[in-house]
Each structure stands twice: as C-alpha cells, then as structure tokens.
Amino acid sequence: MQITLSISQTAVYTAVDMHAAYTGAKMDADPSAFARIATTQTDREMLARFWDEAASQFSQALRKSISHQSTIGTLYQVVLEVSASFDETLVSTMQSALFDYFTAAITGRWFAVSNREQAPDFAATAATLLGQLQRNSLAKKAPSRPVY
C-alpha cells in the first residue's frame, strides 16, 4: 500500500519567517534582535540550503519506506510504502508532522546562525517529529476479529 504526503516549500518558509519574526520581536532586552533573527528575502538562499538538508535527513531516516519523492515547483511530495494493514487515520497526522518537521528543522538551523540560545530547542523538536514520522510509517491497525 502507498500513501502520499506533500508540503509546500512556500508555506514552510512562511512558518519559519513567522517563528523568527515573533522570536525577534519578543526579545525586549536586545533591541537588535528583530533585525538579526527575522528572515528576509535575501536569506532565502540559505533557507533553501536548510530545506535541502532537512529533506536529505528525512529521506535518510525513512529510506526503507520511501518509494518515490519529487519536488514540482515548490511542492515537495513523497510516496511511502506502508503495510497493507497501515492505519490510514494516521495520514493526516503524518502530513502535519512532515510540515512541522521541516519548519522546526529549518528554524533550528536558522537559529544556529542568528539566535543560538533557542537553536537546540528547535533541533530537538525536529528530531522528535522525525522519530514520530518513522514510527507512524510502520504503524498498523489493531487486528479485528471477524464477525460471523
């Protein structure tokens, strides 16, 4: 059985922008924090590199399950081979976790450059989400007894 997950690179970048801007704006003790932490259009090249690193890490972690992956424009799609008894209710959870993983991984890498204090938190979140994606890709429905 196959499932397809897809996320928009643009939506992920928007979420990263929001995290960075919010964090920079809330640092009252450092007046230059917003300018240092918030992403700009000129930072997109670096964010694209972080995207590629996150995609590579995702691919490595789920290499046994991935049957195909592609990027069409700004849409990243991955097709996973899952068990025939895969619990299909997990697809939406995995879709959300994939988006959150990319957002946390890219934000963590960005913060390693611009806001070192919070970088480990985002890296840990990304690792947790990647583990969740791995576990969910192997999840199966509980067997049910046939009704006669």
**Higher-pLDDT residue of 30, 74:** 74
DSSP assignment of the chain, as one string? -EEEEEEEHHHHHHHHHHHHHHHHHT-TT-TTHHHHHS--GGGHHHHHHHHHHHHHHHHHHTTTTEEEEEEETTEEEEEEE--TT--GGGHHHHHHHHHHHHHHHHHHHHHHHH-TTTHHHHHHHHHHHHHHHHHHHT--PPP-PPP-
Give residue-wise pLDDT tens across range 43-84: 989 999 999 999 999 999 999 999 999 999 999 999 999 999
Selected residue with higher pLDDT from 120 and 143: 120
130-143 pLDDT, tens per residue? 999 999 999 988 88
Indicate left, alpha or beta for 81 from its phi (over 0: left) and psi (-120 to 50: alpha). Answer: beta
Mean pLDDT of 90-118: 94
Give the Cα separation of 8 and 10 in Å (integer): 5
Q: What is the pTM of this model?
A: 0.91
- Mean pLDDT of the chain, nearest integer: 92
Give the pLDDT of residue 24: 86
State percent of the chain over pLDDT 90.
Answer: 71
Q: Domain limits of the chain?
A: 2-137
Residue 21 — φ and ψ, nearest 5°? Answer: -65, -45
From 43, 46, 38, 45, select the one nearest 18 (Cα to Cα): 38
- pLDDT of 50 reads 96
